[in-house]
């Protein structure tokens, strides 16, 4: 029982690392200028190390000291977690365009007619060969960390399950495995909650003092302390690794045992491998159910990675709030669905045909709930020169209102005009005056030549105008949660279809192949495909040294539909 407790703790903290990465992915994109395709590849890269090794581990399962192997795997995972946070410590502080001169730079992004040179250092500051190299190093470190995370995770689940199944009594084994399974579902949820907590701190909390941070967490330039959660999660993993080095290779079997079931049928003759593989893949029920699971899992993998980013952009939420919703509403919803599906299955002792009917029904109802989500959202707010070009109001004046300001293209410090149009920077709105609060934060910008109200120069507030979509947020969350509950009711019956439709001696092998196919066809490509689809909806890219970096504005309607 102590082993089950330790294993639950270890699985929880291992999933905390990967769940936390998904919760902070939109922040890491912003901080290091990544496209969603790159960040999607990063998020799924741990599956690569995992898949390469899983076959060997299943094969050698019975011949090694399993607890010690689990302990070593856990130490690798913890190392990977610490590596993930390393980029924060090897790169300089986060820099963003600002209106108030500060200790970092004396430039400002106001409209300064006739001053040509004042902008030079802002637009090209980050363009030294050193900066470009620094960015490659960051990516390299993170990809290595993700590969290590996958490799370290290999022995944890299979060895833990077979160890428990070998030494637990037949009566208790399902209970223990059920406990572990529920932990694997809760884990990512806790990861998102951790993300919600950490991203409400400023990224350079350790490098700058509080009064120098001029951003609030509602500002689009805000970057949260993404690295902090990795330190927390990695420390937890390291702690839970310790007991594994003190468990014996074999334990006395729990009382109440009838016969010993070994989990993996791979101790048999290796030449048996291709035969079983073919036999299972030729089985139509097995093949169809696995393909259905692949489709569903690819969607889950993509959504888990980018749902937070979607909520942030569509409903103008902070990263903290978006993660809070996913961790406290969507993931528990999926868990409820899995449990309900299992309960119905047990209560009505379903036949195979009824199992498949239940899967179909669950997915059909899920589609019904999810269909309105296509329409629950708003277009991107009006951003001057990007989603909004108004010539009727000013005639030719629209183009010329900020010509004499010599604005850099790269400036990004969004402000919201009194005409409810967003401008990328105070300069692009032609604002010449800034009013500052007592505590050095910006109150508003005035004397803006591009914002005209009744023939007078208008004013603007710092920060984005937002999508004005918050009223649709609650219906969206409710419907997406219901759709998730309904889809996950098919989880247990689809497993039953697989377990009951194949020959008993192939069971563990078939499950192994199933997970292998899910990894290769769903968990790996899912986030990359989703990221690429999201990138196609970007309408303004941040430029770093003439390469595309992170996306500043998406076409929200396209983002939602795709």
> What are the tens digits of pLDDT across the range 386-444?
887 655 444 444 456 777 787 777 788 899 998 889 998 888 888 888 888 777 778 88
Name the pLDDT band for 61 (thresholds 50, 70, 90).
low
CA distance 510 to 515: 9
Q: Any residues with CB less than 8 A from the CB of 44 and at least 6 apart, and which?
A: 301, 305, 523, 524, 525, 526, 527, 528
> What are the tens digits of pLDDT across the range 337-385?
988 998 898 888 888 899 999 999 999 999 999 999 999 999 999 998 8
Write down the pLDDT at residue 370: 94
> What are the tens digits of pLDDT across the range 257-295?
333 333 343 344 455 566 766 776 778 888 899 999 999
Q: State pTM to two decimals.
A: 0.86
CA distance 227 to 290: 37
Region 544-557: mean pLDDT is 88
Write down the pLDDT at residue 234: 97
Name the pLDDT band for 159 (thresholds 50, 70, 90).
confident
Write down the pLDDT at residue 191: 94
CB-CB contact of 182 with 312 (8 Å): no
Kindly provide the b/e burial profile for residues 39-52, where b requires at least 16 CB atoms within 10 angstroms of the residue's own CB.
bbbbbbbbbbbbbe
Write down the pLDDT at residue 258: 36
Task: Give me the residue spans of the domains in the chain.
Answer: 1-115+131-266, 272-380+469-561, 393-462
Q: CATH for 272-380+469-561?
A: 1.20.1250.20
Q: Which helix (H) or strand (E) holds 436?
A: strand 431-436
Q: Any residues with CB less than 8 A from the CB of 175 and at least 6 apart, and which?
A: none
Helices marked H in 199-326 — which ranges? 226-241, 272-281, 284-315, 319-325
Report the mean per-residue pLDDT for the chain: 84
CA distance 309 to 26: 6
- Where residue 133 falls (left for φ over 0; alpha for ψ -120 to 50; beta otherwise) is alpha
Q: How many CB atoms lie within 10 A of CB 1?
A: 9
Name the pLDDT band for 155 (thresholds 50, 70, 90).
confident
Region 517-544: mean pLDDT is 93
CB-CB contact of 25 with 308 (8 Å): yes
Write down the pLDDT at residue 261: 37
- CATH topology match: 1-115+131-266 vs 272-380+469-561: yes
Determine the 3-state secondary structure of 199 from DSSP: coil
Give the position of tokens 């991107």: 380
Residue 314: both structure tokens together: 């569509």
CATH class of 1-115+131-266: mainly alpha
- Where residue 388 falls (left for φ over 0; alpha for ψ -120 to 50; beta otherwise) is beta
Residue 292: both structure tokens together: 């259905």
Write down the pLDDT at residue 237: 96
Region 237-255: mean pLDDT is 88
Mean pLDDT lowest among 65-74, 162-171, 458-467: 162-171
Percent share of the chain, pLDDT over 90: 47
Write down the pLDDT at residue 176: 83
pLDDT at 508 over 80: no
Residue 529 CA, chain-centre distance (Å), reads 14
Select the more confidently predicted residue: 403 or 468.
Answer: 468
Q: Any residues with CB less than 8 A from the CB of 308 and at least 6 apart, and which?
A: 22, 23, 25, 26, 192, 195, 319, 322, 323, 326
pLDDT at 124 over 80: no
Cα atoms in the Cβ-side hemisphere of radius 13 Å centred on 148: 20
Write down the pLDDT at residue 323: 96
């Amino acid at each position: 029982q102590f082993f089950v407790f330790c294993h639950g703790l270890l699985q929880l903290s291992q999933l905390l690392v990967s769940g936390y990465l998904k919760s902070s992915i939109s922040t890491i994109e912003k901080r290091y200028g990544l496209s969603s395709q790159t960040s999607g590849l990063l998020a799924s890269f741990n599956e690569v190390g995992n898949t390469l090794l899983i076959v060997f581990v299943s094969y050698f399962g019975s011949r090694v000291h399993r607890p010690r192997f689990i302990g070593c795997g856990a130490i690798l995972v913890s190392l990977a977690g610490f590596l993930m946070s390393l980029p924060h410590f090897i790169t300089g502080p986060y820099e963003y365009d600002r209106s108030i001169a500060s200790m970092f730079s004396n430039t400002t992004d106001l409209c300064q007619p006739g001053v040509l040179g004042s902008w030079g250092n802002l637009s090209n500051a980050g363009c030294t060969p050193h900066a470009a190299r620094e960015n490659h190093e960051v990516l390299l470190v993170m990809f290595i960390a993700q590969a290590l995370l996958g490799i370290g995770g290999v022995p944890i689940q299979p060895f833990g399950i077979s160890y428990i199944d070998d030494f637990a009594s037949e009566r208790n084994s399902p209970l223990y495995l059920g406990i572990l399974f529920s932990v694997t579902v809760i884990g990512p949820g806790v990861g998102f909650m951790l993300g919600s907590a950490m991203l409400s701190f400023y990224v350079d909390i350790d490098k700058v003092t509080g009064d120098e941070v001029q951003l609030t967490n509602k500002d689009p330039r805000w970057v949260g302390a993404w690295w902090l959660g990795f330190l927390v999660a990695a420390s937890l993993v390291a702690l839970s690794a310790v007991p594994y080095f003190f468990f014996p290779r074999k334990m006395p079997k729990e009382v109440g045992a009838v016969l010993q079931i070994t989990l993996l049928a791979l101790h048999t003759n290796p030449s048996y491998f291709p035969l079983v593989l073919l036999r299972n893949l030729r089985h139509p029920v097995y093949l169809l159910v696995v393909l259905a699971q692949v489709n569903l899992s690819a969607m889950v993998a993509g959504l888990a990675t980018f749902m937070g980013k979607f909520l942030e952009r569509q409903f103008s939420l902070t990263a903290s709030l978006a993660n809070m919703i996913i961790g406290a509403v969507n993931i528990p919803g999926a868990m409820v669905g899995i449990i309900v599906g299992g309960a119905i299955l047990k209560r009505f002792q379903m036949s195979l045909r009824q199992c498949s009917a239940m899967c179909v029904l669950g997915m059909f109802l899920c589609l019904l709930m999810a269909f309105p989500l296509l329409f629950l959202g708003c277009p991107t707010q009006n951003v001057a020169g990007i989603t909004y070009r108004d010539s009727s109001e000013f005639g030719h004046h629209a183009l010329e209102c900020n010509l004499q300001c010599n604005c850099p293209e790269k400036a990004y410090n969004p402000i919201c005009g009194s005409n409810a149009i967003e401008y990328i920077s105070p300069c692009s709105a032609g604002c010449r005056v800034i009013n500052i609060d007592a505590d050095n934060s910006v109150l508003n910008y005035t004397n803006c030549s591009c914002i005209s109200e009744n023939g007078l120069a208008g004013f603007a507030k710092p920060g984005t105008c937002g999508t004005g979509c918050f009223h649709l947020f609650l219906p969206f969350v409710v419907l997406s949660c219901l759709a998730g509950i309904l889809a996950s009711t098919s989880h247990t019956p689809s497993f039953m279809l697989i377990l009951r439709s194949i020959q008993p001696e192939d069971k563990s092998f078939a499950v192994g192949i199933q997970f292998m196919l899910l990894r290769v066809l769903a968990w790996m490509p899912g986030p990359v495909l989703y990221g690429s689809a999201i990138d196609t909806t970007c309408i303004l890219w941040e430029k770093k040294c003439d390469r595309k970096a992170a996306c500043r504005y998406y076409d929200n309607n396209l983002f939602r539909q795709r």
